[in-house]
A and B are shown apart, each in its own frame.
Chain A
């Protein structure tokens, strides 16, 4: 079951820089075999029953790994996985250098009033999500903090998706619709007055995806279902 971390890993993490401590995992920054990496450690949750905790943590780790590979195979940029320690649920991922989250980008660009840049970004996000959903991959936690923009020296920055812990495979338009709904809620609450921008995103999604019609239909249905919504039909 949940085993002691090996000495090497413990030492490595002790010396590493702790970037973030979330409810689910800790992110460390360090070097691994000459490359800058992020180590995502899904630590044991003591408030859970140990057997359940192990099963759930393992499942989340596995789902994340499968989703990353599925994305990359479909041409969707996601960090490369270098190594996985299944006994302590640590994933060693490529550190995406020279990047910022889409969240931070929107916040700063919004302030500068660069509407065109934001529209282009919304278009690109719609396209990348369309490609992901066409692969029947549900992200599960779409937020602008889970999207990165990386400087590559090219004309446009590279748009990457990260944090696939809640992802799964599904062809159902309902699941894809919910995926978009989660993003909509996160988007509108994090970035006030961006309804038009999000609409742009959806338009781009519709154009880029081959199976978008039923998905958007479900999205509309889910919107009616949400909190503080009247179900009087």
Chain B
């Protein structure tokens, strides 16, 4: 169900993703995150194309944290910010973070390999059904993603949507 992966650039660290659908308490979760009480990043899965981009965002966030150059205040908010193609932080939170009425949530946890997270803990906190993380691609609002990321029709011919999205995530700092 959940997906745990290593990050080559950060040996010893792992990223675990958990997808929930039919979520009833998005508002409560969001409040908990804003208060710093939720130990993970809460992402709106409709704006995602693949779990791969979450890994890319997490790698970048950990890297910036290590060199002390994060643009936001916490690792989790940095992961959310990195998913956006723009440098506007509040816009990133609005689009890629969860909103009170959201029915689906992707939870992202970052942990040490020797310190596995309590998945049951997360499951308890989310009032919803767990779904396989790869289902994220079926939840994608591709029209919205293409519009927000300003994907051109020519670009779609030479690569996948994921290619276009990840490219912008990597390059936005110098745009």
Contact = CB atoms under 8 A, between A and B. Distances in A.
Contact of B166 (A31, A65, A80): A80
B9 A12 contact: yes
Contacts of B10: 8
Interface string A113-142: 000000000000000000000000000000
B170 A34 contact: no
Given A8-B10, A86-B173, A33 B55 contact: yes
A74 B154 contact: yes
B21 to A, nearest CB: 25
B63 interface: yes
A66 interface: yes
A54 to B, nearest CB: 15
A76 B167 contact: no
Contact of B164 (A35, A65, A72): A72
Contacts of A33: 5, 7-8, 52, 55-56, 59
Interface in B128-170: 152, 154-155, 157-159, 163-164, 166-168, 170
A34 B55 CA distance: 10
B158 to A, nearest CB: 5
Interface string A83-97: 111110000101000
Interface string B40-80: 00000000000010011001100100110000000000000
A30 B168 CA distance: 22
Given A33-B56, A66-B174, A76 B67 contact: no
A81 B170 CA distance: 6
B11 interface: yes
Given A69-B175, A80-B163, A83-B59, A11 B158 contact: no
A9 B11 CA distance: 10
A83 B155 contact: no
A87 B158 CA distance: 30
Contacts of B175: 66, 69
B171 interface: yes
Interface of A: 3, 6-9, 11-12, 30-35, 62, 65-66, 68-69, 72-77, 80-87, 92, 94, 158
Given A8-B7, A74-B154, A81-B166, 12 more contacts: A6-B63, A11-B11, A31-B8, A33-B52, A33-B55, A69-B168, A72-B159, A73-B154, A77-B159, A80-B166, A86-B173, A94-B163
Interface of B: 5, 7-11, 52, 55-56, 59-60, 63, 66-67, 152, 154-155, 157-159, 163-164, 166-168, 170-171, 173-175
17 contacts: A6-B66, A30-B8, A32-B8, A33-B55, A33-B56, A34-B52, A68-B171, A69-B171, A76-B158, A80-B163, A81-B166, A81-B170, A82-B166, A83-B56, A83-B63, A84-B173, A85-B63
